[in-house]
Each structure stands twice: as structure tokens, then as C-alpha cells.
Amino acid sequence: MSLPAVVPAPAAIQPETGAPFRLGAGTPMTGDADAAAALAAIVEVRTGLSPAGSGREGAIELRVDAPGGGEPESYRIAVDEASVVITGADAAGLFYGVQTLGQLIARDGDAWIIPAVTIDDAPRFAYRGVMLDVARHFHDVATVKGYIDRAASLKMNALHLHLTDDQGWRIQLDSRPALTERASGTAVGGDPGGFYTKADYREIVEYAASRHMIVVPEIDMPGHTHAVGLAYPELAETPVISDHMRDIIRDYGGDEPRAGAPYDGMAVGFSSLKIHDEATYDFVADVFGELAAMTPGPYLHFGGDESLSTSDEDFDVFVTRASAIIADLGKTPVAWHEAGSASQIADTTIGQYWGFVTPQEGAGEKARRFVDNGAQLILSPADAIYLDMKYPNGPALGLTWANGPTSVERAYAWEPSDVVPGVDDSGILGVEAPLWTETVRTAADIDTMAFPRIAAAAEAAWSPATGESDLRTWSSFRQRVGAMGPLWTSMGIGFHPSDEIPWASE
């Protein structure tokens, strides 16, 4: 008896011998109203049917019930000919059970069925994220909400927004109004910029919460701060241009960055805040203080990557002070793994590792220091789950610097506990798949670059470890992802039809 296709792979799935449950117009649903609304939307998109009526026998029951103290975000699905019961340990678990049930819906001739099955499922890691860079190219609220829907359908629970970079500042702050007045209008390639008003940001946060996702805002510093200098030139150092940066400019176009002029190229590492000026830390306190008040989630990300024109000593000073400012706000600081080199970083700081699956040039040591301090890591290995890397035989979109092009198989074939030497599951908060947008301009571009590789990241974040489940193999994954094709199409997801995947037509 074949297993129904579910992505990410559940902790336990058992096909049953009985007849399937048959969906029809007016299939009754009882229980949690929010979960019922979410399921009704999936059923209608997938089948054209409108459940929640009372026109036939059989029912779908949706409830939150954890009498045995079920794990957070866990759920159980039991399907037989007469009924479907989804039980969540909490509201998030029930929501994820609904997403799984949506994947189980299958066509049977002119009808729709849910196969008889029992699923018991819970996440491996607490943090399962996606990152969207809205600084290199700005993406409006509707596009962000669409990405939230897509990520949540794969049981992701964190949206990391890269809100600032050399090319633009994307969040309105009352304490520093010049940031959006003077530094938000440009993007890579001379494309138009944009920014989120405080009302926009609140809308994103609330929409994410309705899908059981938190928002993790990132204000990248002390590097990646050329846009800050457009608004507050007294805080920014003069750009420092290395031969490596000139090579990037030669390969990708654009002019060399100049103080006071908007930058729309793709070079990195040339900008820095003034490390020894107290006005800089007044700025950091203003920005993160206001952002903390706007962000109900626990994390504030202060970047800390590619500060190539900041000396090691100055970088240490900045990271120490910035992480302390955020910690004093009652938030948990997050920083890219380079910040692990700082001797006095706040000990609650979460590190985000963006090196390769096999760490190079001390990256693993810097990342491990976060764990040695008593905190944890978010894993984002660039040569596996940077969703902006080109596909083999794919569209022109994307870059290749992270050992690219990156196949779907390479996005899948890594094990989180094997990446950073000396760091096992206890030191890993979770997994996050970043999508940088130097070449990504539209919602359609996001779909193309994210799908299907985002599903590989979701499985690394949610499912049992490699070797602990028969489903955690490339052979199983490619078949299960292929079965998602009809569902993704009905959801309007313009996924890349990779020739690595045997895509189902229905």
C-alpha cells in the first residue's frame, strides 16, 4: 500500500486499509472556526467545492486538544470512510494539520477523496524560517503576504525581512524620518524603490500571525549601510573600494559607490557606520527601540555580515554594543555568523550561519561561538538553501557565487546536525531559507526561485533527521514534491518545473 505524498515528511504516517473519505459540495466541518476557514479555503482552491455545509453524511472535525501534553505545533490526522479528524496540540498544530490535509486531497475520476490514513506529526526544530530581501528590490505588502501564505503551507513559522541594505531603507520610523524620505527610492539596477509605512508593517505582522508566523526584522549594520549615509551622512564612513569590489562591479555592472549618492549596484562590503562616534549608538538605540515596539516576536536581527571595510577591532566594538542595546530592550538579538568573532557579544545572541555546508575559512568556528556562549544557531547554508542561486538548466534569474547553480537535489541533500562541527540538534534553533533579490523583481520571480527548493528547506527544518525516517531520502522527496504540482498550480504558485522532479499532472 503506497503512502500518500506529504511535504515536509511527517514524523509518522500509516496508510489504512479502509475506503477513502469522499469530499462533496457541503461536506460538514465542525470545531475550531479559524482552522475551518483555512481548510475551506484550501478545499475550494484545490477542488472548487465549498465545504462547511450540511448536505451529506460524514464530517471533518477540527479541534485543539492536547490531553497528553502534546509537543507544541504537533497534530494528529485520522481519516476513514466516515470521517476526518484533525487534532492539534495547539492552534498552530491544528493549522499545520490543515495544511497536510490539503496535500492529501486527490482526484478520483470526477470526484475528490482523502485517503484513509493516520498521521502523527511534530516539528524537529522550533524555528523554521524564510527570508525575503526587500532592500535590493522592494516587494509590496501584497507580495509579502503571498509569500507568507506559501511558506506557511510548508509549516514555516518565521518570516525574516531584510529591510535595509546599501541600495535602500525600507521601513518608516518616526524617530528617524529621513531614512525613508531620502534613502528609500532606489533599488538594484536603477529600479524604483519603496518602503513600508508603520501601518504596512503592522499589516504584515498581523497577517503573519494569522498564519502562525512571526516576523524577524533585520536592520543590517555596521556594513551594508550606504543608504543610512544618504539620510544621515554624519554617521557613515566614506566608501572603501577594494579590488574585489571592483571585480564585482566589472562582472555585474553599475558604478562605484560614492558618498551621498544612491547606490544601485551589487558590490558588498564597502560601507560602514562610524564605530567610535556616540551618535552611531544613539542611532542604533532609536532604530531598534522603535522596531522593538512594532514587533511582537522575540527576535531583532542586526546583520553583522560582510563588514569588509570595518577593522576587526572596530567590528568587535560595534557588535558588543549593538547586541547589548537589543538585549536591553528585552529582545533576543540575531546576527549573521561573522558576529561570533566578537569577544563580548550579548550571550543571548542567536547566530545565523550562511557559510557552506562544509564550512570554510573559520566560518564554523565563528558560528560555534554562539553555542559556546549558551545560545543557538539558525542554519542557512548558502550552497544548499539560498533560494536566489541559479538552477541548473533553469531561467536566467539568480546568481552562482555559492557554488551555484544549485540543484533541487543539492538543496535537499544536507543534514543540519552535520554542518557546524561540534553543534548538534541541541545547539540548533532551526533552519532558514534566504531569498536575496538582486535579480528578483516580481512575485512571479519569487515563486520561480523558491519553488520547489523551499520544500527541501522545509523538510530539513520540520522532518525527522536524515536516517531516522524512510521518507528522508532524495528518492522519496522528489516523488513527494512531484505530487505537489497540481496543488501548487491550483494555489497559483508558478514553480520552476525542474527536470529533476517527476511532476504529477493531477
Locus of grid cell 467545492: 49
What pLDDT is stored for residue 391 in this prediction?
Answer: 98
Write down the pLDDT at residue 224. Answer: 98
Amino acid, res. 153:
S
Neighbours of 61 (CB within 10 A): 16
Distance CA 478, CA 471 (A): 10
DSSP codes of every residue in 47-97? HS---S--SSS-EEEEEE--TT-PPTT-EEEEE-SSEEEEEESSHHHHHHH
Catalytic choice (61, 306, 365, 409) = 306
Per-residue pLDDT of the chain (506 residues; tens, 9 = 90+): 689 999 999 999 999 999 999 998 889 999 999 999 999 999 999 999 987 655 445 699 999 997 666 899 999 999 999 999 999 999 999 999 999 999 999 999 999 999 999 999 999 999 999 999 999 999 999 999 999 999 999 999 999 999 999 999 999 999 999 999 999 999 999 999 999 999 999 999 999 999 999 999 999 999 999 999 999 999 999 999 988 889 888 888 888 999 999 999 999 999 999 999 999 999 999 999 999 999 999 999 999 999 999 999 999 999 999 999 999 999 999 999 999 999 999 999 999 999 999 999 999 999 999 999 999 999 999 999 999 999 999 899 999 999 999 999 999 999 999 999 999 999 999 999 999 999 999 999 999 999 999 999 999 999 999 999 999 999 999 999 999 999 999 999 999 999 999 999 98
Q: How far apart are CA 217 and CA 135, in angstroms?
A: 12
Contacts of 206 (CB under 8 A, 6+ apart): none
Q: Distance (Å, rounded) from C-alpha 379 to C-alpha 350?
A: 11
Q: Where are the alpha helices (DSSP H) in 184-277?
A: 198-210, 226-231, 243-252
Residue 68 pLDDT: 62
Contact indicator for 10, 121 with CB cutoff of 8 Å: yes
Residue 55: per-residue pLDDT:
44
| pLDDT score for 50 | 85
The answer to whether the beta carbons of residues 205 and 215 sit under 8 Å apart is yes
3-class SS of residue 29: strand
Neighbours of 52 (CB within 10 A): 16
Q: Are 7 and 103 in contact (CB under 8 A)?
A: yes
The answer to whether 404 and 457 are in contact (CB under 8 A) is no
Among this protein's residues, is 306 annotated catalytic?
yes
Q: Are 505 and 455 in contact (CB under 8 A)?
A: no
CA distance between the termini of the chain = 20
> CB atoms < 10 A from the CB of 192, how many?
11
- Fill in the DSSP letter of residue 126: S
Amino acid at 467: G
Domains of the chain: 12-121 (3.30.379.10), 127-466 (3.20.20.80)
Residue 184: name the closest of 138, 234, 233 by CA: 138
Q: Per-residue pLDDT tens for 183-226?
A: 999 999 999 999 999 999 999 999 999 999 999 999 999 999 99
